[in-house]
Amino acid sequence: MATIDLRKLLSHSLIASQRAPLRPADRPPLLNPQSLERLRGRLRSLRGLDERLFNGPPPLHAIFPPWSELGTARRWSELWRVLQNSGVRSEARWNKWGERERAGLLNAYAKMQATRLDGGGTVFSFVRKIDRLLPSRTYLLVDPALPRLVSEDQRTFHAAPWGLHTFEGSWRLVSSFKTYEREGNLHLTFARNRKGEWLADVDIDRHQGLGHVADVLLHALTREDTDPYEIREVLIRSCQLDPGYRVVRGQHRGRANA
């Protein structure tokens, strides 16, 4: 059986032979200029694919209305009232919330303002203060009359499961209702504490019924929650509602008229 002599393999003469120039006919095909250029092209394509897979496209950013417009434009008057009651009285305080949290709030505001109750007024007109903002849902302190009015308005709302909704602290879950739209329906889940205060967990579902079940399963599998920018598209496309902010790719946050 043949053996390999490592000393010969690594000898000076062998190394020197590797440095000797090769005639074109002896050059391996991989080292031909045409082959090298094709290889470089493939590497550039793979590098671009790697960047797209692992770095992804430029991030999305929301461009919001100017703070001064929120305080003066009629369309924002109810939101401005709630912001003031919630201690949000400056642009710096408004900007402390993340872009997706503010986007979720404007989504909820647009939908709640467009949903009127039999008892008079829009759903948002019964909001007192903002308790907490998340990208996928908004927690609002509401007038005690709102849960009753929603439960009695069966033309606008129907009872809905509340198993996926939880409340922290002393809040006790009481009821949950949805509007009837096939897409972009308003979902209100109410909780009450011992002081008699009412808290509404407000979210906008992409789909109704089995479609919503599929959305929930998808979020469970991907471990990703509802994206407010996707909800914005649903509101515009299916509900003909403009939440009042724009979404752009690859720009820093700014204002809607920037």
pLDDT in tens, 34-65: 665 666 666 556 555 555 555 566 789 999 99
Domain spans, the chain: 11-54, 60-255
Higher local confidence (pLDDT), 219 or 29: 29
Higher local confidence (pLDDT), 166 or 19: 166
| pTM, 2 dp | 0.72
Residue 242: pLDDT over 60: yes
pLDDT tens for 97-144 read 999 999 999 999 999 999 999 978 999 999 999 999 999 999 999 999
Residues 215-220, mean pLDDT to the nearest whole number = 41
Residue 156: pLDDT over 70: yes
pLDDT tens for 69-78 read 999 999 999 9
Q: Residue 43's pLDDT is what? A: 57
State the Cα–Cα distance between residues 175 and 161, nearest whole angstrom: 8
Backbone φ/ψ region at 67: left (φ over 0), alpha (ψ -120 to 50), beta: alpha
What are the residues facing 158 on neighbouring strands? 178
